[in-house]
Amino acid sequence: MTGAETPVTGANTVLRLTGELGDGDRTAVGGKAVGLAALLRAGATIPDTWVVPVGAEPATDDLARLAAVAPRWAVRSSATVEDGAALSYAGMFRSELDVPAHDLATAIAAVRDSARSGRVAAYRERTASGPVLDVGMAVLLQPFRTPVRSGLWLGRGPGRGRLEWAHGSGDALVSGAVTPAWEEWTPEGPAGGSEPEPLTSGGLPVGAACVAVQNALGIPADLEFALLEDGLVWLQFQADDHRAGGVAAVRRRNATRRMGRTGRSSTTPRTPPGRPPPGRCGCATSTTPAGSRARCCSPSRPTRTGSR
């Protein structure tokens, strides 16, 4: 919370994330939540997600209802400054993985408190972003599942991007602690990589799924995903109108993350909203055991490549 905020308690302190959120909601739900909503509007599959808005104190009854949904949770940051077009704040905030349902309140408080860390204050000073008290922190809650592989897509333009992935959780990948497998993609398809065959999910190339989501978003995009035993889910989206080329972008991204993470961080990095492509007609959000999904009538809607 910022210094001027008064805690909000009672009803509406834990909200279900839907595709209706837009960039105008950033001050209430943070950049990561806005990015997930954009993914829903693009037809992508994301984990079921609940949001504790900036300044809210989750009611005991709300947390008890979540405990009935799943026994263990990922508790992720969604700061108001996170995943912006100018600064991503990658690795600056705390996220907690594999949290028992009875510990949700403690994990939520820890994630919220990370907005006031010395690392964040130093980052804002270096980037001339203003005092740390200007940072509001919403918190995302998602049922936790261990990924088989975790990956990043760094978009470079229509049909183009770099896919990177590693086995297991994405922490080592986004921190730059491991050398990932990689593929380059062009509008003609895969154009080289470190492995003999492209990474697939359900028999379909993950790179093609990344291209489809990027096309639906209508803008070069940084995406993060998790490949589960039963399919592919999208975890984060950051728009990038000014993508610098390949390895340099990866190095800049990893250099920011190497400044350090705290806690048992999530399989995601940090990221902002985009706008639906021109001409997008309405979307409806549906919830299934596989997660949340928006169905849109846009002809560019990607084919679902997996389920959660």
Q: Please give the CATH topology (third level) of the domain spanning 15-143.
A: Dna Ligase; domain 1 (3.30.1490)
pLDDT reported for residue 265: 40
156 membership: H or E segment, kind and range: strand 149-157
This prediction has a pTM of: 0.74
Other CB atoms closer than 10 Å to residue 234's CB: what's the count?
Answer: 26
Instruction: Tell me what the mean pLDDT of segment 271-279 comes to.
Output: 32
Beta bridge partner(s), residue 237? 223
Q: Compute the C-alpha angle 146/238/46, nearest 5°.
A: 40
pLDDT in tens, 10-38: 456 899 999 999 989 999 999 999 999 99
DSSP 3-state of 127? coil
CB proximity list for 64: less than 8 A, separation 6 or greater: none
Which pLDDT band holds residue 117 (cuts at 50, 70, 90)? confident
Q: What pLDDT is recorded for position 269?
A: 34
Per-residue confidence (pLDDT) for residue 5, from 0 to 100: 40
- Nearby residues of 107 by Cβ (< 8 Å), 6 or more positions away: 73, 75, 96, 99
pLDDT digits (tens, 9 = 90+) for 171-191: 777 777 889 999 999 999 999
Per-residue pLDDT reduced to its tens digit, 251-274: 344 434 433 333 344 433 333 333
What's the CATH architecture for 149-278+285-296?
A: 2-Layer Sandwich (3.30)
Cα distances (Å, whole numbers) of residue 291 to 1, 123, 180, 288, 304:
29, 35, 27, 5, 12
Tell me the pLDDT tens digit for each residue of 53-85.
Answer: 999 999 999 999 999 999 999 999 999 888 776
Asked whether 261 and 170 are in contact (CB, 8 A), the reply is no
Q: Is 71 left (phi over 0), alpha (psi -120 to 50) or beta?
A: alpha
Higher pLDDT pick, 126 / 44: 44
| pLDDT bucket at 305, cuts 50 / 70 / 90 | very low
Return the domain boundaries, the chain: 15-143, 149-278+285-296
- Whole-number pLDDT of residue 83: 76
